[in-house]
Chain A
Amino acid sequence: MHNAKMPSQDELPSKAKLLKSTVLAAVIAGVLLVTVVLPAEYGVDPTGLGRITGLKRMGEIKVSLAREAAAEQEATLAALESPETNPDPTPDATPEPIVATEPAIDGQTSDEQASESASTRNDETTIELAPDQSTEVKLVMNKGDRTEFTWSTADGSEAFFDLHADSKELGINYHVYEKGTVDKAEGVLEAAFNGSHGWYWKNRTDSVMTITLQTTGQYQAIKRAG
């Protein structure tokens, strides 16, 4: 504090000691840069330590996300600069067919659909994802509606999934049920509120991934985005 006695020069660290500390600090910084920061931010791992600690994977994901965000921004601007083409909100996605036993297109908004009474439906949805590609499949459900589901990847590779929900009407942006990285999952999805409930999948592998989703239960519509 300002009222603390200022020590004499002898009591403060000597110049030699300060110099040694500075050199040591610089060396430590260099080591950390190469073993921790470069892997974690850029996926660059000269020593191989980043792979063991899992930090290299973090860097690779971040670099990939940065590239995707930039590409999305560019493609959006490009789409607007050429108004005669039909703009695709996620231009990196190739059009994917939904193989459904019942057609799923509705003209109403999802919340209008959700306020109607639930009906029991049975759908099978097949999705193909290129490496780093992602997609969403959502079910429009009322609060309390239940749907049995099972999904799996064709070749046993692991997909990142985020089972979540949102509702424009209720102002809920993101409500998570479960997320993880697995090759298959099954269970019962019970809607926590009126809105859209379903999966975000991302293919983080190096090859094309096919996911098949089966849903049986109470929902008004099944929709695909991205």
Chain B
Amino acid sequence: MIPSHSSPLRNRLAFVACVLALLALAPEAVAHGVTAGDKGYIQESSGMMPIPFMYLGAKHMMTGYDHLLFLFGVIFFLYRLKDVSIYVTLFAIGHIVTLLSGVLFEIRISAYLIDAIIGFSIVYKALDNMGAYQRWFGFQPNTKAATLIFGLFHGFGLATKILEYQISPDGLLVNLVSFNVGVEVGQILALAAILIVMGYWRRSEGFLRHAYSANTLLMAAGFLFVGYQMAGYFIA
């Protein structure tokens, strides 16, 4: 019986059940199915389309909360624009390498696993900001190296999402590079917004006090990501 007032999840389950029932009734008629959104658009496209793919890359980064949270953690205590540029460039080098090679060599890793690692990168950075490693191990791991290495994992996450889009092989290289350019543009835009907000915040009285709590929240968000993705890995 179709529920009339149901939560979005129940609607979705009902829809899936209906589709399966219909498929059972008509064994030969498996329709192509409608995929909406960016994925649907990409599946209908082929050939070189640099600007649309630049847009998709920028959108991907600006709505990629896991990537943005990590970046936020990285720049949290970087006060000079020069330092921000260095660290963001290291992060970019990391994710560009794996984004391009991941797609071109079709390196397929479970999206859940890689997203869980990205979640862990957020936890790592938050703890680093809180001085945990010095406290616990008496040792400060190289922050530049950590940014670069985690950048590699973030890039694999991007590559996995792109492989799921099933981009046409026709024009792939141009589209992929355009997508990457878009990712960097999106990153710059998001960073600008973050830095402006940080600019106001750092001038306030309680910044250093609140900084600790903020990084605790960041760490909680990271753990949430990890849990959510690991659950998906085992359940889905």
A joins B in a complex = yes
> Which A positions have Cβ atoms within 8 angstroms of B?
1-4, 6-7, 9, 11-13, 15, 17-18, 21-22, 25, 28, 32, 36, 40, 53-55, 57-58, 61-62, 65-66, 68-69, 72-73, 76-77, 79-81, 87, 89-90, 109-110, 134, 136, 160, 162, 174, 176, 178-181, 200, 202, 204, 223, 225-226
Chain B nearest CB: distance from A141 CB in Å? 15
CB-nearest residue of chain B to A52: B51
Contacts of B44 in A (CB 8 A): 61, 160, 202, 204
> Is B2's CB under 8 angstroms from A200's CB?
no
Contacts of A9 in B (CB 8 A): 203
A82 and B28 CA atoms in complex are apart in Å by 22
Interface residue? B65 (CB, 8 A): no
Interface residue? B30 (CB, 8 A): yes
> Is B26's CB under 8 angstroms from A89's CB?
yes
> Is B170's CB under 8 angstroms from A134's CB?
no
A28 and B15 CA atoms in complex are apart in Å by 41
Interface residue? B143 (CB, 8 A): yes
CB-nearest residue of chain B to A162: B43
Contact of B170 among A18, A25, A110, A180 (CB under 8 A): A180
Contacts of A223 in B (CB 8 A): 28
Interface of B is mostly: helix
Of B28, B166, B193, B202, chain A has the most CB atoms within 10 Å of the CB of B28
Q: Which residues of B in the span 13-41 have a Cβ within 8 Å of any Cβ on A?
A: 14-15, 18-19, 21-23, 25-32, 34-38, 40-41
> Which one of B102-110, B112-120, B125-133, B221-229 is at the A interface?
B125-133
**Known contacts A58-B52, A62-B37, A180-B168; A25 and B192 CB within 8 A of each other:** yes
Chain A nearest CB: distance from B73 CB in Å? 11
Of B26, B143, B211, chain A has the most CB atoms within 10 Å of the CB of B26
CB-nearest residue of chain B to A7: B79
Contacts of A3 in B (CB 8 A): 131, 134, 140
> Is A55's CB under 8 angstroms from B55's CB?
yes
Contact of A58 among B35, B41, B143 (CB under 8 A): B41
A57 and B29 CA atoms in complex are apart in Å by 30
Interface residue? B47 (CB, 8 A): yes
Chain A nearest CB: distance from B121 CB in Å? 16
Contacts of B31 in A (CB 8 A): 89-90, 136, 225-226
Contacts of B78 in A (CB 8 A): 4
Chain A nearest CB: distance from B229 CB in Å? 22
Contacts of B52 in A (CB 8 A): 40, 53-55, 57-58
Contacts of B170 in A (CB 8 A): 178-180
**Known contacts A53-B51, A180-B46; A18 and B199 CB within 8 A of each other:** yes
Contacts of A57 in B (CB 8 A): 52
**Known contacts A76-B18, A180-B46, A225-B30; A66 and B129 CB within 8 A of each other:** no
CB-nearest residue of chain A to B40: A65
- Contacts A/B (CB < 8 Å), 15 sampled: A1-B77, A1-B128, A3-B131, A18-B199, A25-B193, A32-B189, A61-B41, A61-B44, A65-B35, A69-B35, A89-B29, A160-B44, A178-B170, A181-B46, A204-B44
Chain A nearest CB: distance from B56 CB in Å? 8
